[in-house]
Structure 1
């Protein structure tokens, strides 16, 4: 699963390095054209994400992810062969980038749904936190490995990942098990899981205690239902009707919006992802402009932001599991990120060692909430109690949340470029800190609800 999104992020990171060579322009021209390519990819990705989640709930996820990988590899390959065929038309690259953004939306809602299908709520935050490290690893390796073909053949930087994605898509097509029922297992999100296991043990002799006729009938009914689900899953339709192949009705777009917390987390992610992607796209340039480091060293140093992001994602997931308060976990990290960015801007340029430490801390605090919302929170809301056990909302909810966040990811770098050119880097950091404030404000109602739940639980514990 990590391979899908890792390669997509890796490929997009390469594009930032090679645009100067592709279009044979100056650095200034390259920056302007890169902004247009970034926008083509990010806005296409954000717009298509909402549709992708809707489709993912209604198709076989094995096919969905496999074809998404194959097409992603194809567009990566098409980007690379521009050098072979001496293509210098900007519209060619914009179209390829836009189409790549569309097909890559298959990855996030599809993969989050598959992981959510296989893992229950226990330690979900930690599992998703570790899993989400692929985003930062992809960014890091994309920056470090991108220079390998600068002097040799930059087209291979896109052709080779494209071939890898094609092979990975074929492997996924052959071996991915999208849902436990596909192999006769019970979903960890099934509310009847424990009762089914107990009753089946009684029927098969695992428990010799006597059972009533009603229990026996209930056992046979549950076992028969599981057998029907297993047989249905073996047919593996590519496009089943709105009734899901797991016997549940796929939720609609507006139905997903009614789930408590979806709207708040979606708009909070808009601002959180705006901050994260602004750092992703502009940090190497900021480090180069604000220090005496060369361009190559600045790019290498900027990867430390993603190193901190890996730790932040894992820590946020772990804290969310321990407290069962994801909104409060995000709020605390957002609060700490604001002074963290202020300190980095004012003191990070003093010494390279201090820059390293502060950059890791900022990456930890900025990426933690972003990672938690796009993974564990999305999976939690996709199996919310208001759905009454229906798990056919995972992809739709994930797409709504991440799609809204992706709009912020598209707006952030563009807005940062305008603010920096018209004002200064200081103004860019003010913009980022205000964005974190907005993300925090949007979560306050959920935080208040979680704190109320915590006080009630403590009162009940004292009474007991």
Structure 2
């Protein structure tokens, strides 16, 4: 018998379960990256909506070619642009609390598909203001508010779906890698919006809107909410009595559940890739159906889960810092380094590149130490002096700006990424829930919704403070980072005072 080609050998070395997990990992990554791709254009276009150019009496300003786009061509342009950010983020924060509760009670695939199609439409609507020569602040505010509301369908849905497919074995690493979709979406959004920002800024919104809507159709066609929704393998087909109602779902017998060796068959504990690098044992696609009749958790019930309040408040201030950079960094670079809108947008992507490394590093360290809060606390502590010197060092030249963007991106985005992914999933499957599988989206929405309040306040405060100097904006960011660290002190103390947990329970939150 001839040896298998290397490519085929690689493909068959993974079980069917692992291929499905890899596919769901990639699909949810791309789905949420498209959400962030559609949020970035406004920060890129800000420099075009108000250009710092002189106006002479003999050459009156023209909205299309000179000093900006009315009504953002006035002296209070920073407040008006900040109001657009605030409208989107306030709607997002309010909608997030409702979205988790609604998402627990609707099919995730249909809920997410409708949200992505609507988000694509409202993102494009903002850009249509360019083509139809709209100069009403109310038009752009309404477009931002509607987009903020529908975008809340994304995060609880994708986190719940991913939590269904992956167990606790390497949750920090896997979700740290997965959470790089935030930075990847920001980078792609910056590049796409920057391509048209100087020639036709309306396309900077229409094209990302089309991308989000297209990914919504992909979600409808391919997203699988839970492993139990996948048909059985050929071995199960050999035992047709084990399948139910043409869906071929299989329930493990009690004797198998009680067998310690059967843990290897549990798809919730199976890793995405084999840890020893060798060919894994081929496993049957066995799905454990959850207990029937589990009711969705209430809002107050989710708040009583140990750690939810502390991490929610921590994320409020951590997200305040992150979203201030997200919405105002290109304009800051334009002011400090005197670059045009396109160059400033491209340079701002370095903050997101640093965020990718920060999110992965936070996940790896928290898995190794088994201390989520302490990992977040360490990165927040290191971010304080970094933010203190950012404004001063970045004025020393382009090279210094590049270095500070990478370092700050890693330290700011690391805790934010860890809390919104691994921590939210840990708390959504907390032992106090006693197996209730309907809590993950609600817990995720509470944590990210509270964080979104900070995300709304950060850009608004930056718009109000920046006229008095960018150094004042960075003072505000330092204070916010210190507050985020303060809210974690009790959890950090509890983690450091407790002995190391056994390997079978990766999350220190379980012991609170």
Q: How does the TM-score come out when normalised to structure 2?
A: 0.75
How does 1:33-432 map onto structure 2 within 5 Å? 33-183=80-230, 197=256, 247-422=293-468, 424-432=469-477
- Once the two structures are TM-superposed, the CA of residue 343 in structure 1 deviates from its matched residue by 2.8
Tell me which of 33, 46, 59 is aligned to 1:6: 33
**Deviation digits for residues 85-108 of structure 1 (CA, Å, limit 9, x no counterpart):** 333322122112101100000000
Comparing both structures, which one devotes a greater share of its residues to helix?
1
2:269 is matched with: none
* Structure 2 residue ranges without an equivalent (≥5): 1-27, 50-67, 233-250, 266-285, 504-512
1:452 is matched with: 497
1:437 is matched with: 482
- Distance in 2, Cα, partners of 1:442 & 1:198: 40
- Once the two structures are TM-superposed, the CA of residue 356 in structure 1 deviates from its matched residue by 1.4
- Once the two structures are TM-superposed, the CA of residue 313 in structure 1 deviates from its matched residue by 0.4
**Deviation digits for residues 110-139 of structure 1 (CA, Å, limit 9, x no counterpart):** 111100110001111111111111111121
* 437 and 251 in structure 1: CA distance in 2 versus 1, 3 angstrom threshold: same
- Once the two structures are TM-superposed, the CA of residue 295 in structure 1 deviates from its matched residue by 4.7
2:12 is matched with: none
- Once the two structures are TM-superposed, the CA of residue 8 in structure 1 deviates from its matched residue by 2.3
* 296 and 289 in structure 1: CA distance in 2 versus 1, 3 angstrom threshold: same
* 88 and 261 in structure 1: CA distance in 2 versus 1, 3 angstrom threshold: same
- Distance in 2, Cα, partners of 1:270 & 1:130: 22
**Kept in 2: contact 1:43–1:410 (CA 8 A):** yes
2:42 is matched with: 15
* 70 and 291 in structure 1: CA distance in 2 versus 1, 3 angstrom threshold: closer
- Once the two structures are TM-superposed, the CA of residue 280 in structure 1 deviates from its matched residue by 1.7
Name the stretch that deviates more: 299-308 or 391-400: 299-308
Q: How does the TM-score come out when normalised to structure 1?
A: 0.83
- Once the two structures are TM-superposed, the CA of residue 308 in structure 1 deviates from its matched residue by 0.6
* 74 and 287 in structure 1: CA distance in 2 versus 1, 3 angstrom threshold: closer
Name the stretch that deviates more: 277-286 or 303-312: 277-286
- Distance in 2, Cα, partners of 1:318 & 1:97: 36
* 355 and 392 in structure 1: CA distance in 2 versus 1, 3 angstrom threshold: same
**Kept in 2: contact 1:82–1:155 (CA 8 A):** yes
- Distance in 1, Cα, partners of 2:420 & 2:478: 21
- Distance in 1, Cα, partners of 2:499 & 2:211: 48
- Once the two structures are TM-superposed, the CA of residue 418 in structure 1 deviates from its matched residue by 2.0
Between the two proteins, the alignment pairs up a number of residues equal to 417
**Kept in 2: contact 1:62–1:172 (CA 8 A):** yes
- Once the two structures are TM-superposed, the CA of residue 293 in structure 1 deviates from its matched residue by 4.5
* Structure 1 residue ranges without an equivalent (≥5): 186-191, 207-224, 231-243, 459-464
